[in-house]
Amino acid sequence: MMNLRVCLAASAVALAAACSGSSNPLVATWKCETDMGGGKMSMENTYLADGKTKGSGEMNVNQGGMTMDIKLSYTGTWKQEGDQLTEQMTDVKIEQATMNGQPMPTEMHSMMTADMSTPQTSTVKVEGNTLTQSAQGMTVTCKK
């Protein structure tokens, strides 16, 4: 789940943040791609100057003879204190999901998103157009 949040990082929003006078380099839209055990995740995350966040992306997992493809979107909140970033997804929606090529049963959607609303804290570093987040021994790198 940490990868989803981490990865979970539009030019119009970035421009609006710049015009708002925000000096936090995290305020921007970030595109993240990462390999996770048996799968790949691609996310676009936007951190807004008011402490809100939104994003979308997809996960493709192939483990134990089962494949899952999930497209989702979310809104949430973020807060940075020093190099510590705490994020919480407040509304996660599965836009489309398949298991072994068939539509995923709707009752599984909430099971897939249940843990995503728990606040997550990671160590964050922004250098130019690169965002690096680390937590629980995992590191994800994103680009503007």
User: In the chain, what are the domains?
Assistant: 2-143 (2.40.128)
pLDDT score of 13: 31
Q: What is the pLDDT of residues 57-80, one digit of tens each?
A: 999 999 888 899 999 999 999 999
- For the segment 10-26, the average pLDDT, to the nearest whole number, is 50
In the prediction, which pLDDT does 2 show? 45
Is residue 28 classed as helix, strand or coil in its secondary structure?
A: strand
Strands (E), 2-119: 28-36, 39-47, 52-63, 66-81, 84-99, 102-103
- Average pLDDT estimate for 130-136: 92
Portion of the chain with pLDDT greater than 90, in percent: 60
Average pLDDT, the chain: 84
| Least confident window among 28-37, 81-90, 122-131 | 28-37
108 contacts 116 by C-beta, under 8 angstroms:
no
